Structure 1
Amino acid sequence: MSVTRRSLLAAGAIAFSGALGALFAGGSPASSRAARAGGGYGPLLRDPRGLLDLPAGFAYRVLSRAGDPLRSGEGAVPANCDGMAAFDAGGGRVRLVRNHENRATAALRVPAVAGLTYDPGALGGCTALDLAADGRVTGERVALAGTAVNCAGGRTPWNTWLSCEETEDRAGTAGCERDHGYVFEVDPARPQRTGAVPLTAMGRFAHEAVAVDPYRGVVYETEDAFVRPFGLFYRFLPDRPLGGTGSLRAGGALEALRVPGLADLAAVDEPGAEFPVEWVPVPDPSAAVTPIRHQDFGPGGITHAQKLEGCYWGGDGVHFVSSYARRGEGAPADHHGQVWFYDPRRARLRLDVLFGPAADVQLPGDSPDNICLAPDGGLMVCEDGGGAQYVFGVTAGGEVYPVARNADDIGGPGAPEWGEFAGVAFSPDGRTLYVNAYAPGTTFAVTGPWRR
């Protein structure tokens, strides 16, 4: 039986099998019931400033806003704040690195900085923020420039950030002077050390997010493709695993996941269902002639999925999100979000959570995107769907509760609209949650009685 929005509304709190129990579930009535049951922090209160609604006892600070001047003097804070990670800078200080998903039409580009710019014609990249022990912003500067559509990414065990380009634009298109569709490594403390070097062996495709196995050094990658053929789930086997900064430049092998007999993950509608998997070498990771998802993977084919997005390592495996699937766009079934878990020791793939097709996209809880681990062992999940936009928490026991709601209405009269959340991350001590409102680009720090 598939888990739908309607069944969640009927059941209230729900638990799922998995390394962390339930991973994600939606619906504001279910969320309020979970909060009353003790899993959450209570109802959200309207923010008189009209920016971020939070539970009682919580407060936020605006760290950065698109259009304001960068403290470095390099230009304005770029637009379209997306994936993000928080790093320990010592002495209670925190360093944030933040993606900017800028396309050719972006009004606020990442300023081109010498030594950090890959392609002068591309407008995306990363910025880094330095935070004092009391949470004040003490520095803000460019960390990577001249890249395109920097969506999400992931941190490495050696404390760098892997920034992912969600595009396959070639030189000569969209204002680009060089090919795009790569992963770039960023040292948030010393960005000049990593520069702007594409990790070409990790493939050229519409990257979304990555997660690094801290024991084996394998890098898992999601491909965000919403037009058929849909994206693939990859693993990159570095020649120098866990070798620290620069080790990924040494090359390696790129493989794609195949579930024998399953052409598309959307066809699975039974949470808890497990499958053996195979890893198939990618014929041409550079996609010199043919995009990878179009390439010939042999008689067994390859397994696709629409809108593969969030990806993170937790427990003994990697979790990744398919944000939605739609029959009208070529998927074999409809859903409003799946969360999968891959266990590398057993080479098994398991569906943990499924939404839709009965989900109402006007209610919160559809289209999960970025995810991170919470201090209490549960999850924080960014929503990227229709209507109001939320950050939800999910306890290890499966209770769902609202954490934040975007109150900044960017729509027109009679047509309210709220930007998605992205880049959710906790400070190293677990006392502060950082999150971006994609539009207008805003970075928040949220403090309160987080359970640890």
Structure 2
Amino acid sequence: MSSAAEQQPATRRQVLAGTGAAVATVAFAGVFTELFAGTAAAHGHAGYGPLVPDPGGLLDLPKGFRYRVLSREGDPLRSGEGPVPSNCDGMAAFAGRRGHVRLVRNHENRVTANIAVPTVEGLTYDPMGKGGCTALELDGDNRVLGERVAIAGTAVNCAGGRTPWDTWLTCEETEDKAGTNGYTKDHGYIFEVDGADPRRTGAVPLTAMGRFQHEAIAIDPHNGVVYETEDAFEKPFGLFYRFLPKKPLGGTGSLRAGGRLEAMRVPGVPDLSAVQETGTSFEGIEWVPVPDPQAAETPIRFQDFGPKGITHGQKLEGCYWGGSCVYFVSSFAHSSQGSAADHFGQVWRYEPQRRRLTLVIVFGPGTDIQLPGESPDNICLASDGGLMVCEDGGGAQHVFGLTRRGEVYAMARGRQNIGTPEEPEWGEFAGVTFAPDHRTMFMNCYTPGTTFAVTGPWR
């Protein structure tokens, strides 16, 4: 995720740098209700009011909301395995016993990371990998009861997604091979993590799901098909994949049985950024077998998919399942970087039963430039049936709420200045997720790595 922040210029984020940011009705192109198929009914509210400056200098929230810092990089893990690692990223919350909550948290650590995920016997894939996941156990009042390593020795663990059997699939956003950057094993895989008992899942790459710059996944709960996004930084850009498992919905460990990896082809559309009008649909979407899922010699997006080619998209990131469809996000596209056209974010919907792909939302530049709404990244369903979105750009860093009526409101703003007083800079937010009872929103600040629990008058 940090790569997007490095590339994306500071634009509309900066207008919300003041603490009074509240509600703005964004003239999104498209019907915003498309994003909420199968969710709870919205209550029609437009935010929770202006953000109140935090006297603690960490996190601005609306009046009536409060936060608790659960974990900060550099502090000791409760397990005694070492310090809390850097670069907190994708995350999910699971129901535990006796009303407890389990958080599984990614650490997007490259070889240059400040604090690596500590290596633990039986949970380490490659001793030279600095990424991985940690797992926190919380009681009903969000007090931390435990914090430990869940997987180590992986690399650039960006996002991922939960499974129907309550495990976490953590995704490596790299395709470095053994011998590169000191790694002793190939990277670019998905790993399954059981936050309740990490040793059940160990550190085994799900190789059949492909080796590429993974970002996020979503699983069709009806048939177990796994959809995967690829966040490639350079042209040719990433692909949108589906994985057809041999043992669909088989529970923990079943994805190790393998399956078939395919990439999406939109007939006549080599680059998704070329599509600019919301509501545009494409019928007869094709799924093409990936020639070499292990990318032994050639990265998948460079491989030969036949005379018809394959469909690419810049910055394919967030991915989630809603109703009977899978949604995925292109955070932005810049023609100066090789895309066919420019945009500040797209949300696509794929309907498997109809083999139909539709562009449902375009963020900017046709929207009011004085309003938020660019570079959507991590997305989660909110307690009221709307969305919470972590933007991934420059300037001030927010978590935004988005209502079903197309209204955007600032839900949180980071106050930890990692720049200078003259040139302030803030770490992006990531991993936004809600507790199973919907009464707590959890989220991470990427830098400095901080995990928050936010409570208040959620609707």
Say yes or no: TM over 0.5: yes
Report the CA distance between 1:385 and its aligned residue.
0.5
Separation in structure 2 between the aligned mates of residue 222 and residue 18 of structure 1, nearest angstrom: 22
Report the CA distance between 1:361 and its aligned residue.
8.7
1:17 matched to which residue of 2?
A: 31
Aligned mate of 2:281, from 274, 277, 291: 274
Q: Percent identity?
A: 71
1:414 matched to which residue of 2?
A: 422
Aligned mate of 1:55, from 56, 62, 67: 62
Moved more, 230-239 or 366-375: 366-375
Report the CA distance between 1:174 and its aligned residue.
1.1
362 and 140 in structure 1: CA distance in 2 versus 1, 3 angstrom threshold: farther
Separation in structure 2 between the aligned mates of residue 357 and residue 327 of structure 1, nearest angstrom: 13
Is 1:374 aligned with 2:388? no
Q: Which string of whole-angstrom CA distances, capped at 9 and with x for unpartnered residues, describes residues 26-59 of structure 1?
A: xxxxxxxxxxx83110111111111111000100
Report the CA distance between 1:407 and its aligned residue.
1.2
Aligned mate of 1:326, from 318, 334, 342: 334
Separation in structure 2 between the aligned mates of residue 362 and residue 436 of structure 1, nearest angstrom: 26
Separation in structure 1 between the aligned mates of residue 412 and residue 25 of structure 2, nearest angstrom: 23
Is 1:153 aligned with 2:160? yes
1:208 matched to which residue of 2?
A: 215
Is 1:436 aligned with 2:450? no
**Contact 2:107–2:157 (CA<8 Å) still a contact in 1?**
yes
**Contact 1:22–1:397 (CA<8 Å) still a contact in 2?**
no
Separation in structure 2 between the aligned mates of residue 370 and residue 234 of structure 1, nearest angstrom: 18
SS at match of 1:91: helix
**Contact 1:312–1:318 (CA<8 Å) still a contact in 2?**
yes
Is 1:135 aligned with 2:136? no
**Contact 2:25–2:406 (CA<8 Å) still a contact in 1?**
no
- 1:19-418 aligned within 5 A: 20-21=34-35, 38-276=45-283, 277-357=285-365, 364-418=372-426
Separation in structure 1 between the aligned mates of residue 201 and residue 270 of structure 2, nearest angstrom: 38
**Contact 1:13–1:400 (CA<8 Å) still a contact in 2?**
no
**Contact 1:240–1:250 (CA<8 Å) still a contact in 2?**
yes
Report the CA distance between 1:343 and its aligned residue.
1.0
Separation in structure 2 between the aligned mates of residue 311 and residue 21 of structure 1, nearest angstrom: 12
**Contact 2:346–2:362 (CA<8 Å) still a contact in 1?**
yes
> What residue ranges of structure 2 are gaps of 5+ in the alignment?
1-10, 13-22, 38-43
Q: Which string of whole-angstrom CA distances, capped at 9 and with x for unpartnered residues, describes residues 194-221 of structure 1?
A: 0000000000000000011111100000
Q: CA RMSD in A?
A: 2.0
Q: Which string of whole-angstrom CA distances, capped at 9 and with x for unpartnered residues, describes residues 295-349 of structure 1?
A: 0111111000001111111121111110110111100111111111111111111
Q: What code does the residue aligned with 1:124 have?
A: G
**Contact 1:364–1:390 (CA<8 Å) still a contact in 2?**
no
Moved more, 177-186 or 367-376: 367-376
Report the CA distance between 1:162 and its aligned residue.
0.1
Separation in structure 1 between the aligned mates of residue 342 and residue 29 of structure 2, nearest angstrom: 22
Separation in structure 1 between the aligned mates of residue 160 and residue 36 of structure 2, nearest angstrom: 23
Separation in structure 2 between the aligned mates of residue 188 and residue 22 of structure 1, nearest angstrom: 28
**Contact 1:58–1:448 (CA<8 Å) still a contact in 2?**
yes
Q: Which string of whole-angstrom CA distances, capped at 9 and with x for unpartnered residues, describes residues 248-279 of structure 1?
A: 00000000001000000000111111112111
**Count of aligned positions:** 433
**Contact 2:262–2:288 (CA<8 Å) still a contact in 1?**
yes
Q: Which string of whole-angstrom CA distances, capped at 9 and with x for unpartnered residues, describes residues 414-449 of structure 1?
A: 111111110000000000000000000000000011
Q: Which string of whole-angstrom CA distances, capped at 9 and with x for unpartnered residues, describes residues 159-179 of structure 1?
A: 000000000011111121100
Q: What code does the residue aligned with 1:223 have?
A: E
1:31 matched to which residue of 2?
A: none
**Contact 1:201–1:254 (CA<8 Å) still a contact in 2?**
yes
Report the CA distance between 1:12 and its aligned residue.
4.5
Report the CA distance between 1:380 and its aligned residue.
0.6
Separation in structure 2 between the aligned mates of residue 70 and residue 85 of structure 1, nearest angstrom: 19
**Contact 2:28–2:367 (CA<8 Å) still a contact in 1?**
no
